[in-house]
Structure 1
Amino acid sequence: MQDLVPGQPAPDFSLPRDGGDTVTLSDLRGGPVVLFFYPKDNTPGCTTEAVAFTGLLEDFAASGATVLGISKDSVKKHDNFVAKHDLKVALLSDADGDVCETYGVWGEKQMYGKTFEGITRATVLIDADGKVARVWPKVKVDGHAEEVLGAVRAL
């Protein structure tokens, strides 16, 4: 996350999404884009975060914003996650981890005294011109979707 600086162009990508389509970031120019990176489908924190963004999706849309969740889970896992929790946010599969690496969210983590490689929960707000507007490294889930919505409205 340290490499992303507000004002710089957001790195472009194309990734498969739940339901089978492909999303290309540069195709979404003209409106803000929220990228929320999360570790794993169907885990407590990730479920809470995805449900929170889903609950505010109409408010994001009213502000012209697109919300995209990104993890290394497969499209099939995303499809199951969406169905199980009635999610409305698009979930993108970065199975090979290239986008996670590019955005600086892949790296060493610690949990329960163990060190491992994984995705750091982080969010990037991209403005209508495709530039990084704001970065939230190491997100705490509670109240985060609401804070991001406030930032979108302030653009």
Structure 2
Amino acid sequence: MVSEGDDAPNFQLRDHEGNLVKLSDYRGKWVVLYFFPKAFTPGCTLETKEFSRLWNNFEELGVIVFGISTDNVETQRRFASKYGVRFKLLSDEDGSVAKAYGVLRPTGTAERVTFIINPEGKVVAIIRNIKADEHPVKALEYLKPLLGSTKAEEGSMN
């Protein structure tokens, strides 16, 4: 399992539109990386809908959000389309990224765990063992004190 303070394992995965996404391309940005077990299941649907509902909050803070499961690209596409997901859902079909982060279950699906990665590529927070719809809220609670004041100061300068 990746621990707080560790370098976030780099990866290359296809998003729900078939585009290649490399974590290293987002160096210099805050990233919320949430693993979920399976698209279209009740908990994963709730979690993804809540990330979507709060998307503007993440966007205002300049935070990139990725959802990752072992579902294939087509399943991720249908899931994103059905629920109007505005961030990238990534397909880790072989489970290699979930394994690198230490969240691959024996069933071949990922555990529900959220990693917050700072601009230097370090894991600074790990959210686990809470209800599915609390992951996005907890991520924002962590990020707002760090990033919210910077955005507010920028806004007051205009």
1:29 paired with 2:23, answer: no
Structure 1: any 5+ residue segments left out of the alignment?
109-115
CA RMSD of aligned residues (A): 1.3
- Residue 154 of structure 1 deviates from its aligned partner by 3.0
1:93 paired with 2:91, answer: yes
Q: Which amino acid aligns with 1:132?
A: V
Match of 1:124, SS state, is strand
Q: TM-score, normalised by structure 2?
A: 0.87
Structure 1 residue aligned with 2:44: 46
* Amino-acid identity (%): 39
CA distance in 2, matches of 1:107, 1:83: 27
Q: 1:154 to 1:6 in 2, by over 3 A?
A: farther
Higher strand proportion: 1
Q: TM-score, normalised by structure 1?
A: 0.88
Structure 2 residue aligned with 1:80: 78
Match of 2:136, SS state, is helix
Structure 2: any 5+ residue segments left out of the alignment?
147-158
Does the CA contact (< 8 Å) of 1:123 and 1:139 recur in 2?
no
Does the CA contact (< 8 Å) of 1:38 and 1:69 recur in 2?
yes
- Residue 141 of structure 1 deviates from its aligned partner by 1.4
CA distance in 1, matches of 2:70, 2:108: 12
CA distance in 2, matches of 1:150, 1:45: 21
Structure 2 residue aligned with 1:20: 18
Once superposed, which parts of structure 1, at least 4 consecutive aligned residues long, lie more than 4 Å away? Answer: none
From 101, 109, 123, the equivalent of 1:132 is 123
**1:85-108 CA distance string (max 9 Å, x none):** 111121000011100000011124
**1:28-61 CA distance string (max 9 Å, x none):** 0111100100011111110110010011111101
1:7 paired with 2:20, answer: no
